Amino acid sequence: EIVLTQSPGTLSLSPGERATLSCRASQSVSSSYLAWYQQKPGQAPRLLIYGASSRATGIPDRFNGGGSGTDFTLTISRLEPEDFAVYYCQQYGSSPWTFGQGTKVEIK
């Protein structure tokens, strides 16, 4: 099973700042089958990015995904108030699909 490790655990930033989140896999994720989700308290996760860098329908272009192999990043270019949430990465290249433990982006 592929283990995903996200860092940092918590990111304290101000609105307007840039956020960079990391997701590292214990082994190479085939075909960059890596996704990112946003989750707010009491809500279901929301798909942001799939295929490492493709934005899901309706996702603003301030969200960008990148990386390949074992190292992936999610960048939020300028944080809006609604972006403060927990973010999870997920790999779907190797069964079982697995998720990272999450990065919380909080208001500084």
Q: Which is nearer to other proteins, 63 or 88 (CB)?
A: 88
Question: In the complex, what is the shortest distance from the CB of residue 77 to other proteins, in angstroms, rounded to a whole number?
Answer: 22
Q: Applying CB under 8 A, does 9 fall inside the site for other proteins?
A: no
**Torsion over CA: 83, 87, 6, 32 (sign):** negative
- Copy the structure tokens of residue 36: 């990112």
CA distance 58 to 101: 25
CA distance 60 to 57: 9
Question: In the complex, what is the shortest distance from the CB of residue 50 to other proteins, in angstroms, rounded to a whole number?
Answer: 4
CA distance 2 to 91: 8
Residues 6+ apart with CB under 8 A from 20: 73, 74, 75
Piece in contact with other proteins (CB under 8 A), picked from 9-17, 29-37, 61-69, 70-78 = 29-37
Q: Applying CB under 8 A, does 96 fall inside the site for other proteins?
A: yes
Piece in contact with other proteins (CB under 8 A), picked from 7-15, 18-26, 63-71, 97-105 = 97-105
Q: Applying CB under 8 A, does 97 fall inside the site for other proteins?
A: yes
Give the x/- contact pattern for other proteins in 35-74, rule: CB under 8 A. Answer: x-x-----xxxxx--x-----xx-----------------
The answer to whether 70 and 27 are in contact (CB under 8 A) is yes
